[in-house]
């Protein structure tokens, strides 16, 4: 499944300005990333109202992660349902040679639940992460993206989504190194100046 993404670093105080731009592009609504698609904990709202009500919520720190889109698309997305286990214990997976798999883990016990999330590859929505400073004072990357999938049938959405990503690129013409990584990321001029004073930027 193909898509398009812009990952960039912006200062915390630049986030509201970026969100204000998104809000001006139409009747834009938001819902929390990975929230229950049928009975969400965070009520889907117009983008500005959503930010005002939930932007400082503990679960939205240090990365404010939302899905945004036109009103009907946010209120009535395509839903993906799957079975999951919660409150279980993670145990190592034993390989054929008797050693533990270094990555894989299996869940033991817990309660079986059914998850209902927005099917991002089939719904015309844009994912946006507003990275802010974490507890250690490290700036987390921001990201804006969408998945082509079935939304190619919606040229109005694709045109709008590409406009948002183009704006993100325009706002972040610089590059700064990523902390604990051998690569760099796009950045705003303010981030570049702050990095010169010692600010560290970490992957989203």
Tens digit of pLDDT for each residue in 68-85? Answer: 999 999 999 998 887 766
What six digits make up the tokens of 106?
Answer: 């299996």
Domain membership of residue 105 as a residue range: 81-116
d(CA 169, CA 186): 8
Q: Which residue has the tokens 């919520």?
A: 57
d(CA 88, CA 73): 34
Number of domains present in the structure of the chain: 2
192: nearest Cα among 11, 18, 16? 11
Residue 1 pLDDT > 60, yes or no? no
28 in any annotated domain: yes
108 in any annotated domain: yes
The answer on 8 and 42 residing in a single domain is yes
The answer on 33 and 71 residing in a single domain is yes
pTM for this structure? 0.82
């Amino acid at each position: 499944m193909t898509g398009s993404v812009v990952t960039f670093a912006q200062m915390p105080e630049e986030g509201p300005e970026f969100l204000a731009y998104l809000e001006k592009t139409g009747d834009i609504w938001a819902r929390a990333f990975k929230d229950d698609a049928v009975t969400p904990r965070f009520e889907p709202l117009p983008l500005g109202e959503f930010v005002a009500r939930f932007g400082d919520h503990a679960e939205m720190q240090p990365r404010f992660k939302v899905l945004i889109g036109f009103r009907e698309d946010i209120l009535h997305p395509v839903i993906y349902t799957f079975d999951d286990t919660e409150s279980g214990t993670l145990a190592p997976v034993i390989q054929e040679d008797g050693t533990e798999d270094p990555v894989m883990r299996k869940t033991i016990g817990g309660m079986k639940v059914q998850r209902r999330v927005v099917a991002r590859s089939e719904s015309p929505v844009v994912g946006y992460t507003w990275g802010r400073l974490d507890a250690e004072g490290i700036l987390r990357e921001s990201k804006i993206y969408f998945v082509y999938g079935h939304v190619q049938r919606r040229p109005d959405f694709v045109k709008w989504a590409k406009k948002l990503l183009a704006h993100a690129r325009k706002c972040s013409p610089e590059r700064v190194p990523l902390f604990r990584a051998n690569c760099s990321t796009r950045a705003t001029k303010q981030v570049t100046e702050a990095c010169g004073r010692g600010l560290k930027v970490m992957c989203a």
